[in-house]
């Protein structure tokens, strides 16, 4: 792990990044999810961890999202809620899995219905989609920015082609953690 020059809190104050796994600058994946013709939304089969802050944002749009998705809000999340001080809002929920896919997967087409809803409503998708989802295939473990388990296990179907993990989510890192983190990570990347 490489220590960062200073702590970088997310726009929600947590998580706080203090180090980065240099593997994010070399590992690659296919970033054009909707342009993919081979995975069939593989990564959506598990649902996603949803931090409380983003769950609240989703629920603030519940009536419109129910109409948009055709799925009632009481089917969106599992009943388990885990306290997590590193998660925005202090806890983690999980999106429900229905018929082997995330409840928010567009079953009539491709991709995430939350994402599509945001685009159609003029909302930045980062405002509704959970932090873990916005960073994927990166994640944070404690205070370290690193590859998600699906990458480390070699399970992610779209590995080894396209840009690096870092380049694929660079704009999302800027959104969540700010320009200074991206500038420092760009410097680390350039020095490799």
What's the pLDDT tens digit per position in 45-61? Answer: 889 999 999 999 999 99
Strands 16-20 and 49-51, sheet pairing: unpaired
Give pLDDT < 50 ranges for the chain: none
Q: For position 38, what pLDDT does the model report? A: 64
Q: Is 9 exposed, middle or buried (0-12, 13-18, 19+ CB in 10 A)?
A: middle
- Identify the DSSP state of 104: T
CB 93 within 8 Å of CB 81: yes
What pTM did the predictor assign?
0.93
CB 43 within 8 Å of CB 150: yes
The alpha carbon of residue 113 and the mean position of all alpha carbons in its chain are separated, in whole angstroms, by 14
The tens digit of pLDDT for each residue in 32-88 reads 665 666 667 767 788 999 999 999 999 999 999 999 999 999 999 999 999 999 999
């Amino acid at each position: 792990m490489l220590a960062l020059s200073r702590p970088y809190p997310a726009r929600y104050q947590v998580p706080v990044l203090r180090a980065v796994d240099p593997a994010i600058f070399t590992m690659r994946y296919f970033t054009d999810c909707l342009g993919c013709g081979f995975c069939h939304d593989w990564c959506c089969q598990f649902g996603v961890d949803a931090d409380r802050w983003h769950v609240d944002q989703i629920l603030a749009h519940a009536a419109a999202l129910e109409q948009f998705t055709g799925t009632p809000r009481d089917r969106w999340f599992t009943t388990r809620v885990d306290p997590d001080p590193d998660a925005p809002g202090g806890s983690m929920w999980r999106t429900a899995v229905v018929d082997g896919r995330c409840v928010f997967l567009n079953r009539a087409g491709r991709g995430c219905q939350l994402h599509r809803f945001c685009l159609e409503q003029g909302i930045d998708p980062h405002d509704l989609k959970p932090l873990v989802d916005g960073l994927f295939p990166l994640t944070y473990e404690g205070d370290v920015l690193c590859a998600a388990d699906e990458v480390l296990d070699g399970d992610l179907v779209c590995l080894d082609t396209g840009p690096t993990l870092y380049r694929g989510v660079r704009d999302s890192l800027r959104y969540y953690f700010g320009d200074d983190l991206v500038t420092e990570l760009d410097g680390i990347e350039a020095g490799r």
